Amino acid sequence: MNTPSHQAYVPFVSVDNMLKLVLHLGVERVLIDLAAEIEADFHRWPLFDKTPRVASHSDVGVIELMPTSDGETYGFKYVNGHPSNMKQGLQTVTAFGLLADVATGYPVLLSEMTILTALRTAATSAMAAKWLAPAGSTVMALIGNGAQSEFQALGFKAICGITEVRLYDIDPEATAKCAANLAGRGLKVVSCGSPEDAILGAQIITTVTADKQYATILTDNMVGSGVHINAVGGDCPGKTELHKDILLRASIFVEYPEQTRIEGEIQQLAPDHPVIELWQVMNGQAKGRTDAREITLFDSVGFAVEDFSALRYVRSKLAETGLFTQLDMIADPDDPRDLFGMILRAG
Ligand code: NAD
């Protein structure tokens, strides 16, 4: 019988449920788990469908789609980057994402990803630093104290053993917010009045500022030998954070070169400037840090595989936590050819 049923419900993780999930599991637990998921996917990097993200630029920002597939599951993220949003009380970055079953094409998860992006970015940064930063690093400078910053600090604490973060932002209110949010979390937090002060004694420098221009958050003379730089904020054409001379002194590690050459710090360099793919370091096909005096740079732009890993992680927690609702998103009549009949029967 042709009933009007349409039972292809899609699990949906709202912002509210994402917050509950993170609180239920604990932020640092989630960051550690995500780093493990992302690392596992980097180990099977060659089997993913990969493409630079599809970006739609405007004068004030960018809207991007980030798709990938491992042959069984397909995923994409919708994400924006609008540095001027903050002045209107809006987020610079917002996102949501979807997983689908490759065998049927049916969606199997829809999730908020504004919070999840901050978590996965921090997990990826710390995962990269685990491979590249000087052994025994304990102090990190954190330049740019906006939405991503606390996640970065806690990711490096949980995954790399950082014990001290030195904060700097051109806006002291952002630094005060970050310091307050990090209080009582087992980190020594030092608020600094200049980037020079922030990098004092730091083995790791994270830059996570937002400005749609070629900015110079770090100049060449600020970066001593042996440090690891985690450059997160420069992630679209015309938007960078580091002086070019730093890049020329550094060993540069990237997620997906085809995307990073368009969006990362290395857009400042010749298109054939050598870079090392992070997945190859993890698989033993390329070397990470080879010298205590070497400057290593993770030119992070955020790649679709990291979002895929993060969505898959969230999906794996649904049954255990029940933190989702069912979304009536797919029209799925019992007789697949009678789509029009669904309208008639609904009347
Ligand atoms: P945000 O707007 O919340 O915070 C940015 C902070 O940078 C603000 O507090 C601002 O005052 C500060 N800032 C701007 N110019 C500065 C300067 N010259 N020196 C010091 N501080 C400065 O943005 P957010 O959500 O924290 O994101 C930060 C950046 O990270 C954005 O550019 C975003 O696109 C990027 N991002 C990258 C990834 C990735 O995977 N690589 C992921 C998420 C976000």
The per-residue pLDDT for 7 is: 59
Q: Please, which residues have CB within 8 angstroms of residue 258's CB and are 6 or more apart in sequence?
A: 50, 51, 52
Domain shared by 292 and 320, yes or no: no
Q: Exposure pattern of 69-83 as b/e (b: 16+ CB <10 Å)?
A: bbeebbbbbebbbbb
How far away, in angstroms, is 40 Cα from ligand 1 center?
Answer: 27
Domain shared by 218 and 273, yes or no: yes
* Ligand 1 pocket, residues with Cβ under 6 angstroms: 81, 86, 92-93, 117, 121, 143-149, 169-171, 174, 208-211, 215, 217, 232-233, 235, 300-302
Catalytic residue among 33, 41, 169, 235: 235
Atom 17 (ligand 1): residue with closest C-alpha?
170
How far away, in angstroms, is 340 Cα from ligand 1 center?
Answer: 48
Domain of 176 in residue numbering reads as 120-302
CB 145 within 8 A of CB 175: yes
Domain shared by 111 and 133, yes or no: no
Atom 29 (ligand 1): residue with closest C-alpha?
233
| CATH number of the domain enclosing 97 | 3.30.1780.10
Pocket test for ligand 1, best of 78, 86, 93 (most atoms within 8 A of CB): 93
Residue 253 placed within a domain: yes
Pocket test for ligand 1, best of 169, 241, 263 (most atoms within 8 A of CB): 169
| CATH number of the domain enclosing 291 | 3.40.50.720
Neighbours of 234 (CB within 10 A): 29
Domain shared by 97 and 168, yes or no: no
- Euclidean distance between CA atoms 199 and 206, whole angstroms: 9
pLDDT tens, position by position, for the chain (347 residues)? 344 445 589 999 999 999 999 999 999 999 999 999 999 999 999 999 999 999 999 999 999 999 999 999 999 999 999 999 989 999 999 999 999 999 999 999 999 999 999 999 999 999 999 999 999 999 999 999 999 999 999 999 999 999 999 999 999 999 999 999 999 999 999 999 999 999 999 999 999 999 878 999 999 999 999 999 999 999 888 999 999 999 999 999 999 999 999 999 999 999 999 999 999 999 999 999 999 999 999 999 999 999 999 999 999 999 999 999 999 999 999 899 999 999 999 99
Residue 1 placed within a domain: no
The per-residue pLDDT for 213 is: 85
The per-residue pLDDT for 2 is: 41
Residue 249 placed within a domain: yes
Q: Please, which residues have CB within 8 angstroms of residue 50's CB and are 6 or more apart in sequence?
A: 68, 256, 258, 303, 304, 305
How far away, in angstroms, is 10 Cα from ligand 1 center?
Answer: 33
- Euclidean distance between CA atoms 92 and 210, whole angstroms: 8
Pocket test for ligand 1, best of 90, 148, 243, 306 (most atoms within 8 A of CB): 148
Could you identify the residue written with the tokens 């955020």?
302
How far away, in angstroms, is 322 Cα from ligand 1 center?
Answer: 33
Domain shared by 234 and 142, yes or no: yes
Residue 336 placed within a domain: no
User: Active site includes 245?
Assistant: no
- Euclidean distance between CA atoms 48 and 32, whole angstroms: 23
CB 65 within 8 A of CB 259: no
How far away, in angstroms, is 119 Cα from ligand 1 center?
Answer: 14
Atom 20 (ligand 1): residue with closest C-alpha?
169
Ligand 1, atom nearest to 302 Cα: 40
How far apart are the two ends of the chain, measured CA to CA in Å? 18
Domain shared by 167 and 252, yes or no: yes
The per-residue pLDDT for 211 is: 83
CB 170 within 8 A of CB 215: no
Single out the residue of 69, 86, 67, 85 nearest to residue 77, CA to CA.
Answer: 67
Number of domains in the chain: 2
Domain shared by 128 and 109, yes or no: no
Residue 212 placed within a domain: yes
How far away, in angstroms, is 239 Cα from ligand 1 center?
Answer: 11
Domain shared by 77 and 192, yes or no: no
Domain shared by 164 and 211, yes or no: yes
Residue 279 placed within a domain: yes
Residue 344 placed within a domain: no
How far away, in angstroms, is 285 Cα from ligand 1 center?
Answer: 32
The per-residue pLDDT for 8 is: 83
Domain shared by 135 and 271, yes or no: yes
Domain shared by 131 and 275, yes or no: yes
Residue 342 placed within a domain: no
Report angle CA 273, 130, 99 to the nearest 5 degrees.
85
Atom 25 (ligand 1): residue with closest C-alpha?
147
Q: Cα dihedral sign for 292, 243, 149, 75?
A: negative
Domain shared by 87 and 138, yes or no: no
Ligand 1, atom nearest to 148 Cα: 26
Neighbours of 31 (CB within 10 A): 26
Ligand 1, atom nearest to 168 Cα: 20
| pTM metric for this prediction | 0.96
